[in-house]
Chains A and B, each alone.
Chain A
Amino acid sequence: MKPFTQLTGIVAPMDRANVDTDMIIPKQFLKSIKRSGFGPNLFDELRYLDEGQPGEDCSNRPINPDFPLNFPRYKGASVLLARENFGCGSSREHAPWALEDYGFRCVIAPSYADIFFNNCFKNGVLPIVQDAETVDRLFKEMYATEGYQLSVDLQAQAITTPGGEVLSFEVENFRKHCLLNGLDDIGITLQQAEAIHAYEDKRRQQAPWLFASRS
């Protein structure tokens, strides 16, 4: 996993509530057996006017001129500003894969769906929670200023606006540690192999049917 430490980047809007993972990456792209290359199909049904197919070259597809990510001013954006309950719906990790592959390393929203939120941390994408009023204010500032950028510092748990305002955010220590260092959490868990074996030995006594093979 790519570490996340600091980021300064253009902010792009996804200005609607309850953006679901089908919207982030439609199901036909879930047929891939790879975990990369989803960026061109991020928000596929909103970004393009036709129906996208897996493996298709997107450079000649008709783009939706009304969709903000297609506006020149948001080109190269790395921070996505969003509304309530972002990432609801399915558990597909293809959603953060697509965001990351497109170039988004950070999402700022008032709330997220649990599974999506969790999946982001496994893929070097930082989902930041700010209250709805703050997010609303950031939307207004962003719309008012072309080239609007935010700086995000994970170590300091702070967002800095172009006006110099500093907004702090919460993040669980363990997740912060893994993200800052780009750690593989399977390796971390395997350091506790003895504890897992001990649990299994105890559980086998208490609940032997959970370890019995099929009758």
Chain B
Amino acid sequence: MFPESLRFSVAKSVNQGIRWLLQTHGSAFDSFSSGILGLLLWVQGRLVSVPWWGYIVIVAVMAWIATRKIVPTLVLAFLPFFIGMFGLWGLAMETLALVITSVVIALAIGIPFGILMAEANLFADIIKPILDAMQTMPSFVYLIPAMMLFGLGKVPAVIATLIYALPPVMRLTCLGLQQVPKPVQEAARAYGATRWQLLKEVRIPLAMPSILAGVNQTTMMALAMVVIASMIGARGLGQEVLMAINRIDVGRGFEAGISIVIMGIVIDRITQGLAKRWDPNRR
């Protein structure tokens, strides 16, 4: 056994730290919280203003652009229909708003940071262990403090989703930039490209397939997080799953679960298809 004399606990200081944050910077967290909530409600408002058949049309058009095949387009356009038939349309919209808001914030942070990681090795060395922690830390560990700092409901859900879904887009942006062939970069430098021109004209366009794969991964992970986020009071499909579990209502849980799967498949196929369209090597 590990010697008792070497025992050292940080649990107490972490607790005190969180309490200190709450007491001294509580109002800052509150205003941050209301900012995120505003954005979330705005997104949700836009989503709700589109009628249900509008989504079928939007999904069909995007699926066509992404796949250029009749059958997958029809299947993808028809799938959301099931969500409505299960009577879960409203909850699905709330989930979608949560996913979209989280993904937009994740991309706004993740892509620039990914670029910085590729440009500065020291920065990458510092960030990488943090990303590892974000991906392996059990989500309940940060779900509770997030709830303490940002209150119950959707805002801590967005924060928790961010922590969980941010790493893939950052990693894949960085990886994509690093994998741009050296001869192509050398040619651009030989013709007098500055660092910024090299990034804008050569590296980012050529890293685009990888960056878009990161966007896809981040979206998928955000969707996976919504069930867990419902435990801290975020409404949506996750809440339905949670309720079904509590009542041991397998059928109801199945409907909500299938609805999440449908959203996942539709979003995944569309973003993947768009990523492929973007691939310069496929033209």
Report if A and B associate in a common complex.
no
Residues of chain A at the chain B interface (Cβ within 8 Å): none
